[in-house]
Chains A and B, each alone.
Chain A
Amino acid sequence: MNNIIEAKNLVKTYEQGRVRALDDLNLEVRRGEFVAIQGPSGSGKSTLLHMIGALDRPTSGEIFVCGMDLTKVKNLDEFRSKKIGFVFQLHNLIPTLTALENVLIPMFELKLKKKEKINKAKELLKLIGLEKRLNYIPPKLSGGERERVAIARSLANDPEIILADEPTGNVDSKTGEKIICLLRDVNKKKGTTLVVVTHDSVIAEHAPRVLKLVDGKIV
């Protein structure tokens, strides 16, 4: 199976069915692909991301990620810690921890030696060009730098998929472009599948494939 993400007739409703966030959605993403999902707010982008990232379960329909049927996986925590890397809209770093320590956070669930973890975190921060900022805490970093640390963190568990939710939502357009380029580089160099949710059309231009989401459906 070449599709790393496969959704069939995916439905997610909220408030006892009154709100239909995802409406019979079908989606296929191949391993190593870079896909941007674009749509206005309220179109169901975030909900779709929750489904793919195993943060929430669908109301009905099927969703397979990395070959696993997410409607049947019992331990979603474990699935996430092994397969998924998240980049959030707000960088969501822990303000009292250094860049290096923030990247170490997802590694608590990994069976690696302390030394190996630190080396890996340093390598990731080098990859995103922050090797000189290892011991800076987030308040001492610029918005773009923080977002880059968040990207390094998302790679800490060697995920098969990176899910980015408006990764450029909080930075100016120039920095935004750098970040999207960085994500694209990661996608190319590491072959990690990349799904970016955004309403920003400029960002979407960088993606080889853009899906438009309207009212919970891909159009």
Chain B
Amino acid sequence: MSFLTLIFKNLFRNKIRTLLTILGITIGIITIFTLSSITEGLKKGYTELLKAGKADFMIGQAGIADLMFSTISEDKAEEIRNIEGVDNAVGVIMTAVPIENMPFFVVMGIEKEVVDETEISGIEIIEGQSFAKEAENEILLGKISAKNLDKHIGDKITLAGKEFKVTGISETGSVWQDGGAFLSLKTLQAMQKKEGKITMIMVKKDVDADIHELTQRIEDTYPDELVTIKSIDEISKVDKGMQAIDATTWTISLLAIVIGGIGVANTMIMSVYERTREIGVLRAVGWKRRRIISLILGESFFIGILAAAVGALLGTGVIKLIMLVPQVSAFLEPSYSINIFTRALGVALLVGLFGGLYPAYRASRLSPLEALRYE
């Protein structure tokens, strides 16, 4: 019999209690797991948007809380294009409008020439064709939204009170773009009453230009006016919401550790108390204090590991359920990175450690004399 077998057998002496404790932690793990994979999914959405096409980086307005609020003058795209080291720069306007029963439908205004220039836009027309140049009532629908809304080429679609004809279905690989649509830049500007304004500029650099030097130079040229975003790590420059979501996830993780830890501590203290005599016997037959500590900590760690496994499994299920809602699947693609599994396991192990420390200490202080007490 190995030490692990002993730990395992001890755990399942009181099956109901152990399972309830595991369940308690599991709920925390599911929450963390779900939140994390949604956060990661949102970040992935941004990353895809950044990387859609072959743009090297994008430029947004400095000092804003959300990319959707970014407003830059159209001329800036032209100015950026003339900067040394820049190969091409195109301005796009982006907004989110409710459509039918979807609350979050991303619409991007983009020039027809840019749509055709896959090099920078990354748009691939998989069916039909793009909207005509400066067409006022034509729309290029992303493939996910085409499926969710059940629209085909030639169908009509109403967007913010205006009717459009679907001319084509597109794919970029970005869940936001595929779950949204493209319009002519001028049309969307007019609809938003933002003539001459754009949301962001997608930039392709010269092959031999240094991206760090170039972005720094642009930010230095337009201080407090423009920010450059090279990677997802810089997204907080234009999206404070992501930071808030991150902070929330961590706060909830911490709460889960505390609540789970208390649950484990309670269970383990009870279990140690019930086994007072038995632990006394183990001490009497020569078990060192350290081995008693290992036994109790081992048991609480094992509770944590089981909770992590069950939590990850159920968490995946919960996300699958959430994704069944078309409104959500249009803008969110959950991410199951190894990071999230590591975080869930990490939290579960911390819960096991915190919950097990005090009971293990208590158990190790028990006197071997307990084995010979007979009342």
Residues of A within 8 A of B (CB): 46, 49-50, 53, 55-56, 77-78, 80-82, 84-86, 88-90, 92, 94, 96-97, 100-101, 104-106, 108-109, 114, 153, 156-157, 165
Within 8 A of A (CB), among B1-37: 1-3, 6, 9-10, 13
Within 8 Å by CB of A56, from B1, B3, B286, B369, lies B369
The interface residues of chain B lying within 8 Å CB-to-CB of A114 are 2
Instruction: Provide the residues of chain A in CB contact with B284, threshold 8 Å.
Output: 53, 55, 80, 86, 88
Interface size on B, residues (CB 8 A): 25
Question: Is B368 touching A105 in the complex (CB atoms < 8 A)?
Answer: no
Fill in one digit per residue for B118-141: 1 if any A CB lies within 8 Å of its CB, else 0.
000000000000000000000000
Partner of B368, one of A80, A85, A108, A157: A80
A143 to chain B, nearest CB (A): 16
Closest residue of chain A to B9 (Cβ to Cβ) is A96
Nearest-neighbour CB distance to chain A for B364, whole angstroms, equals: 11
Q: Determine whether the beta carbon of A50 is less than 8 Å from that of B286.
A: no
Distance in Å from the Cβ of B82 to the closest Cβ of chain A? 77
Question: Distance (Å) between the CB of B375 and the closest chain A CB?
Answer: 11
How many A-B residue pairs have C-beta atoms within 8 angstroms? Tell me: 74
Inter-subunit contact A106/B285 (CB<8 Å):
yes
Q: Do B10 and A82 touch (CB < 8 A)?
A: no
Please state if B9 and A77 are interface contacts (CB–CB under 8 Å). no
Contact A109 B372 (CB under 8 A): no
- Mask: chain B, 342-375; 1 = CB below 8 Å from A; 0 = not: 0000000000000000000000000111011010
Q: Nearest A residue to B3 by beta-carbon distance?
A: A108
Q: B291 near A: Cβ within 8 Å?
A: yes
| In the complex, chain B residues whose CB is within 8 Å of the CB of A84 | 286
B323 cross-chain contacts in A, Cβ below 8 A: none
| B250 in contact (CB, < 8 A) | no
Beyond A50-B369, A104-B1, A108-B3, whether A78 also contacts B9 by CB under 8 A is no
In the assembled complex, the Cα of A153 lies from the Cα of B6 at a distance in Å of 16
CB distance from B272 to the nearest CB of A (A): 14
Is B368 a contact of A101 with CB atoms below 8 Å? no
**Contact call B372/A50, Cβ cutoff below 8 A:** yes
A77 & B282 in contact (Cβ 8 Å cutoff): no
A213 to B109 Cα, complex, angstroms: 101
The CA of A97 and the CA of B7, in the complex, are separated in Å by: 11
Closest A residue by C-beta to B295: A108
Decide: A81 and B371 in contact? CB cutoff 8 A.
no
**Residues of A contacting B288 with CB < 8 Å?**
77-78, 81, 109
Contact of A94 among B278, B291, B369 (CB under 8 A): B278
Residues in chain A near residue B6, CB distance under 8 A: 97, 101
Given A88-B281, A92-B277, A80 and B10 contact (CB-CB distance below 8 Å): no
Q: Does the CB pair B286–A92 fall under 8 Å?
A: no
Q: Is B165 an interface residue (CB 8 A)?
A: no
Residues in A whose Cβ lies below 8 Å from that of B369: 50, 55-56
Given contacts A78-B288, A153-B285, contact A55 B372 (CB under 8 A): yes
The complex places the Cα of A85 from the Cα of B1 at a distance, in Å, of: 20
With both chains docked as a complex, state the minimum distance between the C-beta of A39 and any C-beta of chain B, in angstroms. Answer: 16
Minimal beta-carbon separation of B36 from chain A (angstroms): 37
Complex alpha-carbon distance, A42 and B45, angstroms: 78
Once the chains bind, are A97 and B9 in contact (CB under 8 Å)?
A: yes
B287 touches A77 (CB 8 A): yes
Contact B285 A105 (CB under 8 A): yes
Find A81's partner among B10, B278, B287 (CB 8 Å cutoff): B287
Q: Kindly report which residue of chain A lies nearest to residue B373, judged by CB atoms.
A: A46
Which listed residue, A86, A100, A105, touches B371 by the CB 8 Å rule?
A86
With A53-B284, A97-B6 given, name 19 new contacts (CB 8 A).
A55-B368, A77-B286, A78-B286, A78-B288, A80-B284, A81-B286, A81-B288, A86-B284, A86-B285, A88-B372, A92-B281, A96-B10, A96-B13, A97-B9, A100-B1, A101-B1, A109-B288, A157-B286, A165-B372
Contact status B374-A109, CB under 8 Å: no
Residues of B within 8 A of A89 (CB): 372, 374
- Our pick among A46, A96, A100 for the contact of B372 (Cβ within 8 Å) is A46
20 A-B residue contacts at CB 8 Å? A46-B372, A50-B372, A55-B284, A56-B367, A77-B287, A77-B288, A78-B286, A80-B368, A84-B286, A86-B285, A88-B284, A88-B372, A92-B281, A97-B9, A101-B6, A105-B282, A105-B285, A106-B286, A114-B2, A156-B285
Q: How far is the CA of A74 from the CA of B1 in the complex (A)?
A: 30
Which residues of the partner chain B approach A165 to less than 8 Å between Cβ atoms? 372
A104 contact set on B, CB distance < 8 A: 1
Q: Closest CB-CB distance, A210 to chain B, in whole Å?
A: 21
Partner of A49, one of B3, B13, B372: B372
B299 to chain A, nearest CB (A): 13
Residue B289, interface by CB 8 Å? yes
